[in-house]
Chains A and B, each alone.
Chain A
Amino acid sequence: MKKLLLVVAALVLVFGLGACSKVDEYEIAMITDSGGIDDESFNQGTWEGIVEFAEDNDLTYKYYKPLEVSDAAYLDTIALAIEGGAKIVVTPGYLFETSIYEAQDLYPDVYFVLIDGVPHEPWDDDTAFNTADNTLPILFNEHEAGFLAGYAAVIDGYRNLGFTGGMAVPAVVKFGVGFIAGAYYAAAKLDVDIVFGDDTYHYFGDFAPSDNFKNMASSWYTTGTEIIFSAAGGAGASVMAAAADNSAMMIGVDIDQADQSDTVLTSAMKQLGNAVQQALQAYIDGDFVGGAASFKGASNDGVALPMDTSRFATFSVAQYDAIYALLVDGTVVVPADYATLVTFLDDATLDYPSQAEVEGTTE
């Protein structure tokens, strides 16, 4: 009998206690994608923007983690965030495209900010895009960021360049195309020859660090490559390690990676924080405009090199501002794909990476 009472007491405790406790609400919510909050990439960049904005404006904020990487789990976590009081949900990464596609209609009163993707139906084929009015997809002109990095490197005196990507997904390819464009643009301007061809253009096939990647980067460095731009997320760490071993330099990606290694010359940044903050600002001002993607490039402060933390020898802030201005006013239109790259460079004698290599169709 005693035992029975104990069981009943325990049940009451478990099921009764919770019911009336008050739970805090969080107005701004972010859902993490496959990585953690400190992934030194999308999650982190976005989150830092949110934290800064929310602190400044005295708003409540929180991030949620899905139980797994799947459309259903993402959608469920969005629901959880809304249950937790979210009025605006920020989702970093294209993996959220399909879940936002559903969520935007399920929760018409909630605003969604989808970074680096556009909501569309599940299923690869018959892909139907639809961006509701309460959803703002934010896309970046990666090619512009890549361009800035390539330009700065060559101006700063590097002549022997390399590029490593995580996988040949569109965003990464755009970084590569822009990087090639920037480097050869600067070379033409300085009238110097640079070495940057197929041999030093490669996709790892993975975004996680590995010794293989480090070895590959090392072999590039030992055969003369002076700097490698690594648009490979976490795998960039392998390139940093290789650079450190060879006293060489590399260029980081997405966010400012200067504090990760002394070998980071600069980073081709997407201004995730800025972009999110712009959206949040619109939200609190009551003029959140969804329905169509917003492109963040040089013209709206969406890409940048972190000049404060860069380790350039000669490339100055003035030079940076000058090239940036050219991008902003459209004097220089950075190519976003290989075909436009070819017309942009317009010089068949140059030995820049081939189409197959850049589009990752060699494997």
Chain B
Amino acid sequence: MVEKIKNYFITNYLGISTGFSLFLFIFIIPQLFEDSDLIISLIRGIIFSIVVGYLVYKFLLFRRNNPNFVPSESKLVVDAGGSLVAIIVGLLFGLLLMLLVNPGQAFYGFSIILRGGLNRNFKSLGDMIFFSVPIILTGLSVAFAFRTGLFNIGATGQLTMGAFVAVFIGVEWGALGEIHPLLHWGTALLFAMIAGGLFGAIPGLLKAYRNVNEVVASIMLNYVAMYLNTMLIVAYIYNRDYARALDIEETAITPIMNLDLIFPGSAINGGIVVAVIVVIILHIILNKTTFGYELKAVGFNRNASKYAGMNSKRNIVYAMMISGAVAGLAGGLMFLVAGKHLKPENILIPEGFTGIAISLLGLSSPIGVLLAGLFYGSLQQGGYYLQLLNFTPEIIDIIIAVIIYASALGLVLQKFVKMILKRKFLEKEDGEPQDLAVEGSDE
């Protein structure tokens, strides 16, 4: 009993006190020296501290409940560790490049990149979140399909369709906003999802019933979407003076949801709330439901799922549809923003492809993708502020791309590196489980 109380106290106390001291150090003390708004700072600080405190509490609770937990035996820890190593490798590549182009400012520049979303505290943090929303969603789209054994390269096309439909409704259906301001935005988003979902279903149907490789089909559909988008914009919502889509109505703009209180001065909007909800939903679908159980089974071993009586064809279509819907949502959120316009350009929107790298980095798990997407956003912010030094934007783009792709690629290469490293020392150190089991060869 005493033990129990003690444990309870330790976990809670530590969690709360960590949160509280952070709160003091980061949010209150600086306020005594600066004359910005204390109330806002308080609100922001409280929220932030509660989150951190909660995480610490959770962690301690977990440690207490699983006293024998050996990190190296948990697949999650090992995999996440792999991602981390990949990221470090990517970052080192970036540093190397910076040393090559501008040795004098390389280390300072590198620290800016590392600081990423924290460069301008909550403003850049908010910006980071804002810019990572589409990436998180496309990453989720790719990841979800991937868990079903499908490679959705068509996220770009689905995103484009979603974006068009959202903007179209944003421009044309202003009457909805008169009923309720959120109705207009919500409808635009809903139809963006539907458009993306339908567009994603096409390669799914082709794959399931005509055995057309979904990679090929979805690549082609990217171009279809691109040209269709150009055509439809010009036909229906064209702003001739600016060669772009018309402005959306104010009611269709993604609401800020008071997030500007926490992240003042930043571009943040409610998109992140939507993204987090999607993360949670997909996480639940994949890990808690029979539907997810089926989808993953189909993804891991289509033959076995067929043997088990699962309708793998239907599942393929559903998976692609959900994947497409999430990409469509990304498109909607990307363009339901004031002062941002869809253009009738024949260019594939790059967010769809970045999603692939993010999905890899996030190990195709929704939560992993959320983190990887935020990481990308952070890098992007770092790169943005790096412009203050003597680096040209082109070089910065390359640096960021190198970091992301080296990380993603690193993960792929890791399997091989692991094989070498493991036998050299990892194995001896902690006897991690081997996934290159002798009995392992699938098929």
Q: Which of B15-23, B198-206, B379-387 contacts A (4 or more CB under 8 A)?
A: B379-387
Distance between Cα atoms of A67 and B107 in the complex (Å): 23
Distance between Cα atoms of A62 and B389 in the complex (Å): 10
* A72-B267, A205-B344 known; A37 vs B394 contact (CB < 8 Å): yes
Distance between Cα atoms of A37 and B339 in the complex (Å): 23
Determine if A17 and B339 form an interchain contact, defined as CB atoms under 8 angstroms apart: no
Question: Which residues of chain B have C-beta atoms less than 8 A from A224's C-beta?
Answer: none
Distance between Cα atoms of A166 and B344 in the complex (Å): 11
Question: Which residues of chain B have C-beta atoms less than 8 A from A14's C-beta?
Answer: 111, 114-115
The B-contacting residues of A in range 150-173, CB under 8 angstroms, are 166-170
Distance between Cα atoms of A205 and B227 in the complex (Å): 11
Please, which residue of chain A has its CB at the minimum distance from the CB of B391?
A: A62
Q: Report A341 CB to chain B, min CB distance, Å.
A: 19
Count the A residues whose beta carbon is within 8 Å of the partner chain — how many? 45
Determine if A206 and B115 form an interchain contact, defined as CB atoms under 8 angstroms apart: no
Distance between Cα atoms of A296 and B301 in the complex (Å): 68
- Check A98 for interface membership: any CB of B closer than 8 A: yes
Contact flags (1/0) for B43-80 with A, using CB distance below 8 Å? 00000000000000000000000000000000000000
Please, which residue of chain A has its CB at the minimum distance from the CB of B385?
A: A80
Please, which residue of chain B has its CB at the minimum distance from the CB of A208?
A: B346
Q: Report A297 CB to chain B, min CB distance, Å.
A: 21
Determine if B240 and A65 form an interchain contact, defined as CB atoms under 8 angstroms apart: no
- Check B427 for interface membership: any CB of A closer than 8 A: no
Q: Report B148 CB to chain A, min CB distance, Å.
A: 31
Determine if A72 and B339 form an interchain contact, defined as CB atoms under 8 angstroms apart: yes
Please, which residue of chain A has its CB at the minimum distance from the CB of B233?
A: A205
Contact flags (1/0) for A334-360 with B, using CB distance below 8 Å? 000000000000000000000000001
Question: Which residues of chain B have C-beta atoms less than 8 A from A1's C-beta?
Answer: none
Question: Which residues of chain B have C-beta atoms less than 8 A from A169's C-beta?
Answer: 240-243
* A67-B380, A76-B267 known; A206 vs B111 contact (CB < 8 Å): no
- Check A68 for interface membership: any CB of B closer than 8 A: yes
- Check A70 for interface membership: any CB of B closer than 8 A: yes
Question: Which residues of chain A have C-beta atoms less than 8 A from B380's C-beta?
Answer: 67
Please, which residue of chain A has its CB at the minimum distance from the CB of B131?
A: A67
Please, which residue of chain B has its CB at the minimum distance from the CB of A124?
A: B247
The B-contacting residues of A in range 163-203, CB under 8 angstroms, are 166-170
Determine if A13 and B111 form an interchain contact, defined as CB atoms under 8 angstroms apart: yes
* A18-B112, A65-B387, A70-B340 known; A206 vs B247 contact (CB < 8 Å): no
- Check A64 for interface membership: any CB of B closer than 8 A: yes
Q: Report B134 CB to chain A, min CB distance, Å.
A: 10
The A-contacting residues of B in range 291-349, CB under 8 angstroms, are 337-341, 343-347
Q: Report A94 CB to chain B, min CB distance, Å.
A: 7
- Check B163 for interface membership: any CB of A closer than 8 A: no
Determine if B114 and A76 form an interchain contact, defined as CB atoms under 8 angstroms apart: no
Question: Which residues of chain B have C-beta atoms less than 8 A from A360's C-beta?
Answer: 240
Please, which residue of chain B has its CB at the minimum distance from the CB of A95?
A: B242
CB < 8 Å neighbour of A32 from B242, B341, B393 = B393
The A-contacting residues of B in range 86-125, CB under 8 angstroms, are 107-108, 111-112, 114-115, 118
B-side interface size class:
35 or more
- Check A71 for interface membership: any CB of B closer than 8 A: yes
Distance between Cα atoms of A310 and B162 in the complex (Å): 47
CB < 8 Å neighbour of A206 from B107, B344, B388, B392 = B344
Question: Which residues of chain A have C-beta atoms less than 8 A from B344's C-beta?
Answer: 167, 205-206
Determine if B387 and A64 form an interchain contact, defined as CB atoms under 8 angstroms apart: yes
Determine if A71 and B339 form an interchain contact, defined as CB atoms under 8 angstroms apart: yes
- Check B234 for interface membership: any CB of A closer than 8 A: yes
- Check A291 for interface membership: any CB of B closer than 8 A: no
Determine if A72 and B240 form an interchain contact, defined as CB atoms under 8 angstroms apart: no
Main secondary structure on A side of the interface with B: loop
Distance between Cα atoms of A62 and B230 in the complex (Å): 34
* A14-B115, A71-B340 known; A206 vs B346 contact (CB < 8 Å): yes
- Check B214 for interface membership: any CB of A closer than 8 A: no
Determine if B389 and A73 form an interchain contact, defined as CB atoms under 8 angstroms apart: no
Distance between Cα atoms of A13 and B241 in the complex (Å): 50
Determine if B243 and A208 form an interchain contact, defined as CB atoms under 8 angstroms apart: no
Contact flags (1/0) for B337-364 with A, using CB distance below 8 Å? 1111101111100000000000000000
Question: Which residues of chain B have C-beta atoms less than 8 A from A68's C-beta?
Answer: 131, 340
Determine if A170 and B127 form an interchain contact, defined as CB atoms under 8 angstroms apart: no
- Check A6 for interface membership: any CB of B closer than 8 A: no
Determine if B384 and A70 form an interchain contact, defined as CB atoms under 8 angstroms apart: no
CB < 8 Å neighbour of B230 from A95, A122, A205 = A205
Please, which residue of chain A has its CB at the minimum distance from the CB of B338?
A: A122
- Check B239 for interface membership: any CB of A closer than 8 A: yes
- Check B246 for interface membership: any CB of A closer than 8 A: yes
CB < 8 Å neighbour of B246 from A62, A124, A168 = A124
Distance between Cα atoms of A169 and B239 in the complex (Å): 9
Distance between Cα atoms of A170 and B243 in the complex (Å): 10
Question: Which residues of chain B have C-beta atoms less than 8 A from A63's C-beta?
Answer: 392-393
Please, which residue of chain B has its CB at the minimum distance from the CB of A98?
A: B339
- Check A84 for interface membership: any CB of B closer than 8 A: yes
- Check B213 for interface membership: any CB of A closer than 8 A: no
Q: Report B341 CB to chain A, min CB distance, Å.
A: 8
- Check A329 for interface membership: any CB of B closer than 8 A: no
Interface residues of A (CB under 8 A from B): 13-15, 17-18, 21, 23-24, 32, 36-37, 62-65, 67-73, 76, 80, 83-84, 94-95, 98-99, 122-124, 166-170, 205-208, 210, 360, 363
Known A-B contacts: A14-B115, A21-B108, A122-B339. Give 14 more (CB < 8 A): A14-B114, A17-B111, A32-B393, A65-B396, A68-B340, A72-B267, A72-B338, A76-B127, A76-B267, A80-B385, A166-B243, A206-B344, A207-B345, A208-B347
- In the complex, 9 of the A-B residue pairs with CB atoms within 8 angstroms, ordered by the A residue number, are A15-B111, A62-B387, A68-B131, A68-B340, A83-B388, A94-B242, A122-B338, A207-B243, A363-B234
Interface residues of B (CB under 8 A from A): 107-108, 111-112, 114-115, 118, 127, 131, 230, 234-235, 239-243, 246-247, 267, 337-341, 343-347, 380, 384-385, 387-390, 392-394, 396-397
- Ranked nearest first, the 9 interchain pairs of A and B with the lowest CB-CB distance are A71-B339, A65-B393, A70-B340, A167-B243, A17-B111, A21-B108, A14-B114, A18-B111, A124-B247
